[in-house]
Chain A
């Protein structure tokens, strides 16, 4: 069911794209700005179409809680393409983003970096407010509202997170989470170029967030770019060690990243609450059966002697 909707959507967007592309460029004397506006309009229509389609098609799909079912636990039909995109992203990260983040951390002291993080977070607060309201999470929406007003004024335009000091911690919400709360399924895993791990729901969410963000409309073109780049460097600089260790210690970097993204999003959607039905390792029977693996023996094997003799 869900798959058919995705195919139909793909077809519809292709036709729409061709129509609008022709509209944008058939007139030879069209200015670049006019063409851009028309393409933007195309983006808006596509985003809306996607939202409607996914809500209609995938909302009814229920996720089984069976962790032995690989179809569910790894919903990744485009794995081959995703792996290629991941490799490209990793290369871009290795030659551009990661070095820039490292230089940033090297030059700017922690105090300065925290100010930048706070300011960027403050610019993101309106989106948190809107999505909090759309999810009818009134407490979180109110928290975001208060944070935005305190930090923008007393916090000198968000440079200082004074709201945190009075117990108003950040409550990040985005439209991907809103769709999830509206019981839209996540769909297949997607590795987006530059943006990284995602899925149709969160990709649509990202687009919608862009349009609902008042700062996107208030800022000028180059300011928007500056803000996006700053946000990229800021986020990357905060996870330098974590990402390096993950890359080193995982035997399948892509699969580890995919699973981390999925679980991280799940946690964000639940707003940090525990899942109602905790996934339980169903392995107690093996404790009785297991003769091949002896915990006591492994205790002996892994004593200090063995390590020092290596």
Chain B
């Protein structure tokens, strides 16, 4: 009731007026929301089309090999995600200390690595559908968070997946995926930092190469 008292401007306005005032405020807020929703829709559309494309790839699981599906995922990932931003963030401060050769090698191998990892992780899905819940502003850099949930075909508990999208060179690109509140970007960043701390930058590059090769041979 304290809140109501404050909303009634500390008792100056009567009960009925307060209700009207709150209603007016909510109406105003919602119309401000409508202004912002054009950008929300665009961000949501990007995620929607990405999701539909990914599901259509999984839908053809019967008549396709993992290599074919991986190639399709690769196109989706490279077009829909901003891999440059992701690769830099994941390396964090070690980018600054890396040599020019290491940076080039890292940038080359990172695309392969991220495609391999996410193609394998995503390929485990079968018959899932997803729905976009809402799009909200995330942070100060103009990022949008598209909240979705993946519905299991068995009817189990849905999995909450948030896509962080950012306007980069005139288009929305995905920069992070949060699965049930777990940021893939931060997980990779900590993982990479741990490898670099123990084995150095070259050790990380080796590990990434080994992972790409292992997944490649597993696919064949």
Query: Which A residues form the contact surface with B (CB < 8 A)?
Result: 67-68, 70, 73-74, 110, 169, 241, 245, 248-252, 254-256, 258-260, 263-264, 266-267, 270, 272, 274, 277-281, 283-284, 286-287, 290, 292-295, 298-299, 301-304, 307-308, 310
Contact = CB atoms under 8 A, between A and B. Distances in A.
Given A260-B182, A298-B111, A281 B176 contact: yes
A302 B208 CA distance: 17
A266 B181 CA distance: 8
A interface SS class: helix
22 contacts: A68-B93, A74-B194, A245-B121, A249-B121, A250-B191, A251-B211, A255-B193, A255-B195, A259-B190, A267-B182, A270-B181, A272-B181, A274-B136, A278-B143, A280-B143, A298-B78, A298-B83, A299-B79, A302-B75, A303-B75, A304-B71, A308-B67
Nearest to B124: A241
Contacts of A294: 84
A133 B145 CA distance: 32
B181 A263 contact: yes
A278 to B, nearest CB: 5
The 9 closest A-B pairs by CB, nearest first: A267-B181, A255-B194, A281-B89, A251-B207, A293-B107, A259-B190, A307-B71, A263-B182, A280-B139
Interface centre among B83, B84, B120, B189 (most CB of A within 10 A): B84
Nearest to B207: A251
B interface SS class: helix
B138 interface: yes
Interface of B: 67, 70-71, 74-75, 78-79, 82-85, 87-89, 92-93, 95, 100, 103-104, 107-108, 111-112, 115-117, 120-121, 124, 136, 138-141, 143, 145, 154, 157, 160, 162, 168, 175-176, 180-183, 185-187, 189-195, 204, 207-208, 210-211, 214-216, 218
B215 A249 contact: yes
Interface centre among A255, A274, A294 (most CB of B within 10 A): A255
Contacts of B189: 67
B154 A110 contact: yes
Interface centre among B79, B88, B124, B141 (most CB of A within 10 A): B88
A278 B111 contact: no
A9 B169 CA distance: 55
A292 B141 contact: no
A273 to B, nearest CB: 9
Contact of B84 (A252, A256, A264, A290): A290
B120 A287 contact: no
Given A259-B191, A283-B88, A292-B104, 15 more contacts: A73-B190, A245-B121, A251-B210, A263-B181, A263-B186, A263-B187, A264-B181, A270-B181, A272-B181, A278-B143, A281-B175, A293-B84, A293-B88, A298-B83, A298-B84
A249 B118 CA distance: 9
Nearest to B193: A70
A299 B195 CA distance: 27
A274 B140 CA distance: 15
Given A279-B183, A283-B89, A295-B82, A307 B70 contact: yes
Contacts of A293: 84, 87-88, 103, 107
